Amino acid sequence: MPYLTPSPAAVRAFLKAHRLTGAQAAHQAYLSGGQAVRKYTGGSAPHRVPGAVWFAWHAHQMLDADTIARIEAAMAVNAQVEENRP
C-alpha cells in the first residue's frame, strides 16, 4: 500500500482522537518536542508528515507497552554498531 500523506487536519484529528499532547506525540515519534509536531498540524506552510513519524504514532497506539519497549531496546542496541573502518 502506498504512503498517503495526511493533511494537517488529519494529523490534528488523529492527535485529538488519541488524546495526545504535542509533547506526547513528539516523544512517541522520537522528535525533539511539541514544536516539532506543530509544524505538521498547520501554520502558513505545514510540513509533510514523514512516513516514519505517521507509522510511529500508529504503532504506539496499536502495540502494547512491552512490544514498544522491546523495539526501543533493539533500536538502542542497533544504533551502537560501529562501522568497519580499514
Distance CA 6, CA 14 (A): 10
| Signed CA dihedral, 27, 19, 67, 52: sign only | negative
pLDDT at position 85 is: 54
The number of beta carbons lying within 10 Å of the beta carbon of residue 57 is 22
1-60 confidence digits (pLDDT tens): 888 999 999 999 999 999 999 999 999 999 999 999 999 998 889 999 999 999 999 999
pLDDT at position 84 is: 65
Q: Which residue has the higher pLDDT, 78 or 29?
A: 29
pLDDT at position 23 is: 96
Q: Which residues contact 49 (CB under 8 A, 6 or more apart)?
A: 5, 6, 11, 40
Query: How would residue 80 be classed by pLDDT, with cut points 50, 70 and 90?
Result: confident
Helices (H), the chain: 8-17, 22-28, 34-41, 51-62, 65-79
Can you tell me whether residue 33 is helix, strand or coil? coil
